[in-house]
Structure 1
Amino acid sequence: MPATMLRLMGESDIIDIDPAAHDGGVHPRLMGLEMADRINLLGHWLDQDRGEALAEDAEHLSAMIAIGAGYLAETGSVAGWGETVNFVVLTVLREKWPVGSKARFQARADRVGADHTYLAHLCTPAKIEDLGDEAALKQSETSQLMMALPRFRQARKSFANSSAVQTLIRQGL
């Protein structure tokens, strides 16, 4: 059982990874890509029910781990990671393309072969005693999404109308 867990939550798939499994090197599949492009690639993989099948492939899984670990390191937004907190949800959701900006957004998506661009949001991390306890993980996931709901509401117009977050905002969990 890993000591830390990052739950990658896309439009249709949820994948759990251990960021500590990343060796810190640049993954061959990600060479030359900025973090925004990596997030778009990860979002593409976690959309349209592709994520679980891709996570079974060691090459794709290691790329997902590299993106997740890189995002945590680059944002520096999880203080006490691995010590006081060990579980966090990273949402990767479709971005809305403003009218008149399609060409610019399409070019960003095309750089990684995606159909959409994606926005990443790191939820409030938590400490879970047993990362093997699915009920505790699900409860923490729900709690983290509830705490993120005000931010999602505030940024509602940033997310595509087809994004799952729009339903989450309407239902309020």
Structure 2
Amino acid sequence: MREAIEASSVLQIDDENPDIVIAIGGDETLMSAFHKYFDQIDHIGFVGIHTGHLGFYTWHELTIEKIIETLSQDKIPMTADSLVQATVTLENGEETVLTGLNEITFGRSIQTIKADVYLNKQLFERFNGDGLCVSTPTGSTAYNKSLGGRRLSDT
């Protein structure tokens, strides 16, 4: 793939500050790419090319030539919709912003977690329990489902 892109007159390779990251493999390869470029994730597009048996985030029907042609025409949808962000505010006012891929999980505490959960700055729920999983629609098919959570619609 690298050689084909280098031979292309329409695309350039920039490993440090890419506009697009192409991950060839499966979902794990794409997740590794998300983690590698996490500090730049707000302005990078991600394309997953599936080469294995099971892939939820990746495409497999494209040839290298078709990928280059499609990318040069800005036609491939980019994947960044699996990201979830949470701001945790402690009782002392200290805030931490967390960003996760698919879900963010708080839990496995020996004490009950008590939290006011806000969604888009509106109080959603007062939560008491031993853990809380906040997931994207994509993440709801994975760990969230194994916890007994519902699958969420993409809309």
- TM-score band w.r.t. shorter chain: under 0.3
Normalised to the residue count of structure 2, the TM-score between the two structures is 0.22
Q: Of the two structures, which has the highest relative contact order with CA contacts closer than 8 Å and spacing of 6 or more?
A: 1
Q: Which has the larger radius of gyration?
A: 2
Structure (1 or 2) with the greater helix fraction: 1
